[in-house]
Structure 1
Amino acid sequence: MSTKPNESRNERLKAALRDNLKRRKAQGRGRAEAPDKRASALDPAPQPEPDPPGEP
């Protein structure tokens, strides 16, 4: 087996992992800076209190 194909594959993998890490770090920074919209979307809207019986 030749090491040349393995070397080029390893270089491609290193570059892909490096780019992936950069992208994930940028996403993490964006999530840390932005308000958490998912939590508010999952929380139900507050419901009004029902009127007590006997009052109009």
Structure 2
Amino acid sequence: MAHEKDTAQTGQKSKKTAAQQREERLKAALKSNMGRRKAQSRARVAAEPSAENTADDTK
């Protein structure tokens, strides 16, 4: 799975440097992690009972 891209004008393949490949992997991982964290946050908020339903029921 090489990270090569055809250039439209020259028809040649441009190889990305190791640093560019690493940066792309890190960007993809960050995007994935942020999506997961946002989903967890939304699920947590949805699972919390509303303030009206939890009015001192422990007495």
Question: Shorter-chain TM-score category?
Answer: 0.5 to 0.7
1:25 maps to 38
Over aligned residues, Cα RMSD in angstroms? 1.8
Which TM-score applies when normalising by structure 2?
0.54
TM-score (norm 1): 0.57
Q: Which has the higher contact order (CA 8 A, sep 6+)?
A: 2
**Structure (1/2) with the larger helix percentage:** 1
- Structure whose residues are more often strand by fraction: 2
4+ runs deviating over 6 angstroms: none
Could you tell me how far apart the structure 1 residues matched to 2:20 and 2:48 are? 43
- The alignment covers a number of residue pairs equal to 36
Structure 1 alignment gaps of length 5 or more: 37-44, 47-56
